[in-house]
Amino acid sequence: MQPFHVFSDAERDELRGVLGAVAGNPYDGYEDFARAVAAAPAPAFFADICRRIRRERDEGISDTHVLRDCPMDDDVPELELDDPVADKYRKKRTFVGEAFLQMFSHLAGTPLMAYGSRNNGDFFTDVIAINRYSGMQTGFSDSELVFHNDRTAHWARADYIALLGMRCPEEEVIYTTFVSGRSLLACLTEEQQEALRKPDFYTPFDVFSRDTNLRQQISEDHPILENDHSFRYVETHTTVTPGAPAAAKDALIAMKNALWRADKQRHRLMRGDLLLFANQDGLHSRDRIEILDADRARTRWLLKTYSFRDQEARDRYAGRWLGGVPGRIAD
C-alpha cells in the first residue's frame, strides 16, 4: 500500500508537541484521557488528513490508508512476553501513541470500541507475541495468521482497525495483507452470494478469546456475506452448520477460491507507520516473509484500536456498555 501521507519533520514535531501535552493515563482513566485529547488543539493539517480519509471511506474510494513517520513516544520499552500487558502498565509512562490514535478517531468521527473481557477493557490494545500462544492462530502469537476479521465469532465487531508500529525490527520482513469485500464480491456469482447470505455457517472463537471469557466458544449461526460487501469469515475455521444444504457447502468452497483470486494489498509496517483498514468490509492476514531471528521478530509490537464506523453505529450497542462507558462492550 502506498502511503496516504508522510509527515514532514515539522508536522510530526508539531503534532507530537500537542499530543505530548495531553494529561492523563488511558489505562487508568480512559474517559478523562479521551476528553483531554478532544480538547487539545489539533493542527489543521492533521484535521484535514482525517477528513480526507473519512471522505474516501464514505465514497468507496479506499478502505485502506497508511500514514508514515507518525508522532511517537520517545521511549518505546521492550515488553516481557509472559505478560506484556502488565509489563506495558509498568514501563510505558508516556502516551503519545495512544493520544495520536485517539485524536485520529475523534477527528475522523469513528468512536473507539473495547471489550470488557479483553486486556482489562482497554481501548488501546497490543498486537504482540505472548509466550503461551506461540504458534497458535491468534493475534497474540508469533505465527502467520490466515485471512480473517478481528473477533469474527463475536456479536460485536469493529468496523475499522488501526495499527501503529511501535517496535518493528527492520531486519524481519512481516506483511499485513488486505483483501477488500468488493474484490471478493466480484469473484462470486449471484447464486453463490445468495447462499453466503444465509445463516448456514459458524465460527469458533480463537484460543485467546476462549481463555479470557469462558462464554466465548462458538459463534451463533451466521451468514458469511452481510450488508453489501461485508464478510464474516476466518479461513480454515468458519464452516457450515450441521445439516446445512449442499448450496452452503458449495458456496463455502467458492468463498475459499475467491479469496485467492481476489486482488490484494500488502503493507510492511515499520516504526511510526499507521495502517488503517476496514475490519468487516474486507479480510486481512499476517504474512511472515523472511524471519532472520525468531526471537527478535517476537518483539514486534503494534498498538491497536478498534472503532465503529460512526456515532450511529456505536449507538446501536447502547445499553451494552460495561460500567456505563460508551464503546466498552460488556461481553
State which amino acid sits at residue 179.
V
DSSP 210: H
Backbone torsions φ then ψ of 65, nearest 5 degrees: -150, 150
Q: What is the DSSP pairing of strand 125-128 with strand 225-226?
A: unpaired
CA distance 195 to 251: 6
Side-by-side strand order, sheet with 173-180: 145-148, 282-290, 173-180, 265-267
DSSP 278: E
267 is in an annotated binding site: no
- CB–CB of 314/111 below 8 Å? yes
- CB–CB of 130/140 below 8 Å? yes
CA distance 221 to 196: 12
Longest CA pairwise span in the chain (Å) = 61
CA 175 to chain centre: 14
In this structure, the dihedral spanned by the alpha carbons of residues 168, 169, 170 and 175, taken in order and rounded to 10 degrees, is -60
Q: Which three cell numbers stand for residue 297?
A: 521478530
Q: Which three cell numbers stand for residue 168?
A: 518493528
Q: Is 215 exposed, middle or buried (0-12, 13-18, 19+ CB in 10 A)?
A: exposed
Q: Which three cell numbers stand for residue 41?
A: 488543539
Q: What is the DSSP pairing of strand 274-278 with strand 160-167?
A: antiparallel
Extract the annotated binding site for Fe cation. 148
Which residues define the annotated binding site?
Answer: 148
